[in-house]
Amino acid sequence: MREGGCFMGKKEAFSKMFKAVQEGDADALVSAVNEVLNDTDPLELIQDGMMPGLKKVGEAFSAGEIFLPEMLMAAEAFQEGMKVIEPKLAQAGKQVKSAGKVVFGTVVSDIHELGKNIVITLMKTHGFDIIDLGANVSPTTFVQEAERANADVVALSALMTTTMTYQRDTINYLKERGLRDRYIVLVGGGPVDAEWAEQIGADGTSTSAVGAVEIAEKLIAQKGGTS
């Protein structure tokens, strides 16, 4: 009976989690997680309880059905849920499988973060592990943080034509350090196009957040998976 009761409770809780993530309701999510936290594998809680809602939100964003606020609130709620689950995860010695580790920032002298934040939020819904360096990030900081995190991808955002040049500087610095081949380098931002990406030796670019996620997934797969 207990197993049956637990199964029913888990199903119901997972359904609540799905809804709570979709609605960006952190309180409801944490409450649903706590209902079954002690009886459920923490990885299952994440993969089958919370991720489906986040994935659904990502799909709706990609289809233009919802916008950044809804996706952002869903990702925030997801993070709150993770805070509850993480101690259990550590206790069990388990890790969430990441789609890839991305060190992401807006290049030095550029303070615009909206484009970066849109891509980051969408990447989270696709299971990427993101290290967000914020704005005005120098080439040495990008490389230092990529090394520290053992990243798969270094993503460089620039909104202005006068800051795109720092995307090139960062790639050149990777080359100078002999680290260029270690990372997939993606560039993006309003004025960035494929011609510029090729010119500066980036691995890819996209004019949309959806495209950026697809390229990251494709290039990581081509490289043989995550580090």
Partner 1 sequence: MVNFIDVIDRAATGPMMSQKDFDVKVFIPALRRALKKFDITYDRKEYVNTDDDLANRIFEAAVEFYSEVGTYITDTERVIQFTKSEILEAVEDVPKEAFFGEGPDRCIMKGRKPDDNELPHCHVGSGTNTSEENALRLVESYARISKAKTISIPIINTLGHIRTAAGAPSEVFAAIRAMQYGREGCRRAGRPGLGIIDHVSSASTGVSTIASSAPQFGARPSDGWLVAPFAELKTDYSSLNQTAYLTAWGANIGQEAGPLLGGYAGGPEGLAVVNTAYSLHGILVIRATYHLIYPIHMTHVCSSHPDVLWATSASTQAIARNMNVPYYTLLYAAAGAATKMYFDEALACLLMLIASGSGIEDVHPGKARQTDGCTPVDMEFTCQVGHACKGITRKDANKLLEKIIPKYVDQLTDAPLGEKVNECYDLDYFKPKPHFEKLYTEVIKEIKGEYNIDLVRFE
Q: Is 191 in the site for partner 1 (CB under 8 A)?
A: yes
Nearer to partner 1, 45 or 133 (CB): 133
CB of 200 to partner 1, least distance (A): 11
Q: Give the whole-angstrom CA distance, residue 151 versus residue 134.
A: 16
Nearer to partner 1, 40 or 167 (CB): 167
The yes or no reply on residue 109 touching partner 1 (CB under 8 A) is yes
Q: Which is nearer to partner 1, 51 or 77 (CB)?
A: 77
Is beta strand 153-157 parallel, antiparallel or unpaired with respect to 129-132?
A: unpaired
Closer residue to partner 1 (CB): 39 or 76: 76
Asked if 112 interacts with partner 1 (CB under 8 A), we say yes
| 102 vs 138: CA distance, rounded Å | 16
Does 72 contact partner 1 by CB under 8 A? yes
DSSP class of 210: H
Candidate list 8, 90, 92, 114; residue touching partner 1; CB under 8 A: 114
Contact flag: residue 29 with partner 1 (CB under 8 A)? no
Q: Look-up: residue for tokens 């494929």?
A: 194
Residue 191, phi then psi, degrees to nearest 5:
-90, 0
Residue given tokens 């990777």 in the structure block: 174
226 binds partner 1 (CB under 8 A): no
* C-alpha atoms less than 13 angstroms from C-alpha of 155 in its C-beta half-sphere: 33
